[in-house]
């Protein structure tokens, strides 16, 4: 063999071996004891569950930033004064119901207990209005409840559904077929027609009775709570947004100063006459529907480690720092696994790569350690980052996302040496190969791809922060050990975290990241699997 060729070959082999030795050296700085030390603080009661925008979440962010500073990582966000910052600040907008009540004949009724509201009523101060009964609240070619009925400036009480004749045929269609007045959005049609006749408010009498009424009210109360879910954009509502107050026949009778029996007699009269009959039922009600608009100030934490000859390309390693806060009963949800485990994993990864750089073995490509917030509210922190990236997404080679890696699920009670990988092959076959090789060479865990199946009903691929990168064609891996009995419960505490297991997963992330940032060629995007 040519001696120059042999020398070159030996140099190449030596360089590869040295690179592997360096990777191992810095991976070994990731320890179970350090993970536990940090998680004991991040998941402590003093942080009150780290709800997005809460003082506890901000304390967690401050703790992480202080650590990043100690290891020389750099800020790359810009604050309002034009100064570099570790905080990428953003706002969430939250709407919720305040007091929503209906008062009739001296009796006060409350939303969620006695009635519910379809749509978005907006009556910040209680008002009193006259009420008139308007049959089924229909105005159609073959049937109308509004002929010769004055409803201007009033609230109308109308029955749900539409009338039938004595043979069971619907009066609007003249057949056995229902019309739009019985559809899922019939209430909207009834509100529009009432308003076109001058009515201000619409109360719809549900055709449900007894326990079924209460069941529907409870279901709607759950839906009403979704009204309070935050969004990234402020919601601008029209002043004339449609709304209808859905009430029981008992409340309707109170409103109209009559009895349930007499009220329902109107249904029979319409059926008997085959047309809308005269209504003489009237009353008065007081209505209030208060809406509260809040702004939540929060921030992602972004810490930058600059690369060398390929520094314009960047690997983003992420985890969410927020959790779900305090339960209504006052119990604190510390979120040790979700996602305290990911938060402290990022800290350990940052110190490992920072030490490597300090000793002359820094990454060729840059690394951004990204602790996002708003994950529990709807992946908002990563969505905000993806729409306002601190480094160009086209230069982002991959996202390695860590969310819940400190426990085991029911499927692995007898095998703790595993981790679920989700998304590794969705956009890049090379990323998948790098991950597999890193595991084979260094960690030898069972890589479980159960949740990577596009037919998996849990749809975890769409449920953590990596997805906002994947949507933008950035290859991703989501590291996860599955759900457990303490998921989103107060029992998700530090004492239950398996730190030896967690440290091995963090090392797997490290070795994968080491290869991604130091290899000659950037991994290719060559797939688009769902």
Is 118's pLDDT higher than 60? yes
Torsion angles phi and psi, residue 104, rounded to 5: -145, 135
Average pLDDT of the chain to the nearest whole number: 93
Number of CB atoms found within 10 A of residue 363's CB: 22
Tokens 């790098």 sit at which residue? 434
Q: What is the rounded distance in angstroms from the CA atom of residue 492 to the CA atom of residue 79?
A: 34
One DSSP character per residue, 398-461 reads EEEEE---SS--GGGTT--SEEEEESTTTS-HHHHHHHHHHIIIII--EEE-GGGSTT-TT-GG
Compute the distance between CA of residue 447 and CA of residue 252 in angstroms, rounded to an integer: 61
Write down the pLDDT at residue 274. Answer: 78
26-64 pLDDT per residue, tens: 999 999 999 999 999 999 999 999 999 999 999 999 999
Domains and CATH numbers, the chain: 25-74+306-518 (3.40.630.10), 95-293 (3.50.30.30)
Give the pLDDT confidence score for residue 234 in this predicted structure. 86
What's the Rg (C-alpha) of the chain? 31
pLDDT at 428 over 90: yes
Residues 376-391 pLDDT 10s: 999 999 999 999 999 9
Residue 530 vs residue 432, higher pLDDT:
432
What are the tens digits of pLDDT across the range 437-490?
999 999 999 999 999 999 999 999 999 999 999 999 999 999 999 999 999 999
pLDDT of residue 220: 82
For residues 269-290, average pLDDT: 86
What average pLDDT does range 310-329 have in this prediction? Answer: 98
CA 60 to chain centre: 20
pLDDT of residue 6: 43
pLDDT at 8: 45
> In a 3-state reduction of DSSP, which class is residue 355?
helix
Q: Provide mean pLDDT across the span 183-202.
A: 96
3-state SS of 127-169? EEEEEEECCCCCECCCCECCCCCCCCCCEEEEECCCCECCCCC
Query: Which tens digit of pLDDT belongs to each residue from 289-308?
Result: 998 889 999 999 999 999 99
Q: Which 3 state secondary structure label does DSSP give 314?
A: strand
């Amino acid at each position: 063999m040519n001696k120059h060729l042999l020398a070159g070959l030996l140099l190449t082999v030596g360089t590869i071996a040295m690179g592997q030795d360096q990777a191992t050296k810095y991976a070994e700085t990731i320890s179970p004891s350090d993970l536990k030390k940090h998680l004991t603080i991040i998941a402590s009661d003093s942080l009150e569950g780290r709800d997005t925008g809460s003082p506890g979440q901000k304390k967690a962010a401050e703790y992480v930033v202080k650590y990043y500073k100690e290891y020389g990582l750099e800020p790359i966000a810009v604050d309002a004064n034009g100064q570099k910052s570790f905080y990428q600040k953003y706002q969430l907008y939250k709407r919720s119901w305040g007091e929503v009540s209906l008062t009739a004949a001296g009796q006060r009724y409350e939303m969620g207990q006695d009635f519910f509201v379809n749509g978005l009523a907006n009556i910040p101060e209680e008002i009193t209005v006259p009420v008139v009964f308007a049959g089924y609240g229909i105005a159609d070619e073959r049937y109308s409840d509004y002929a010769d009925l004055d409803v201007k400036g009033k609230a109308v009480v109308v029955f749900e559904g539409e009338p039938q004749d004595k043979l069971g045929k619907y009066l609007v269609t003249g057949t056995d077929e229902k019309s739009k007045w019985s559809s899922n959005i019939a209430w909207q049609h009834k509100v529009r027609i009432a308003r076109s006749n001058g009515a201000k408010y619409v109360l719809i009498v549900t055709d449900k009775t007894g326990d079924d009424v209460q069941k529907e009210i409870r279901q709607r109360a759950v839906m009403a709570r979704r009204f309070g879910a935050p969004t990234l954009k402020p919601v601008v509502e029209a002043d004339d947004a449609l709304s209808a107050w859905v009430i029981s026949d008992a409340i309707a009778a109170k409103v109209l100063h009559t009895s349930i029996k007499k009220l329902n007699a109107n249904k029979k009269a319409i059926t008997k006459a085959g047309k809308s009959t005269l209504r003489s039922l009237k009353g008065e009600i007081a209505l209030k529907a208060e809406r509260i608009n809040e702004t939540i100030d929060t921030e992602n934490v972004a810490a930058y480690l600059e690369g060398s000859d390929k520094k314009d390309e960047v690997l983003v390693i992420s985890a969410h720092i927020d959790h779900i806060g305090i339960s209504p009963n006052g119990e604190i949800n510390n979120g040790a696994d979700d996602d305290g485990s990911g938060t402290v994993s990022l800290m350990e990864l940052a110190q490992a790569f920072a030490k490597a750089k300090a000793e002359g073995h820094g990454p060729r490509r840059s690394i951004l350690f990204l602790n996002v917030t708003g994950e529990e509210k709807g992946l908002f922190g990563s969505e905000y980052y993806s729409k306002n990236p601190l480094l160009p997404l086209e230069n982002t080679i991959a996202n390695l996302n860590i969310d819940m890696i400190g426990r085991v699920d029911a499927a692995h009670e007898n095998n703790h040496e595993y981790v679920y990988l989700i998304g590794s092959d969705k956009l890049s076959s090379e990323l998948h190969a790098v991950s597999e090789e890193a595991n084979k060479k260094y960690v030898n865990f069972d890589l479980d791809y159960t949740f990577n199946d596009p037919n998996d009903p849990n749809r975890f691929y769409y449920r953590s922060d990596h997805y906002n990168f994947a949507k933008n064609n950035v290859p991703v891996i989501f590291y996860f050990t599955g759900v457990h009995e303490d998921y989103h419960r107060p029992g998700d505490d530090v004492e239950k975290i398996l730190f030896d297991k967690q440290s091995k997963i963090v090392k797997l992330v490290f070795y994968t990241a080491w290869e991604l940032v130091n290899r000659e060629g950037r991994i290719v995007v060559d797939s688009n699997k769902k």
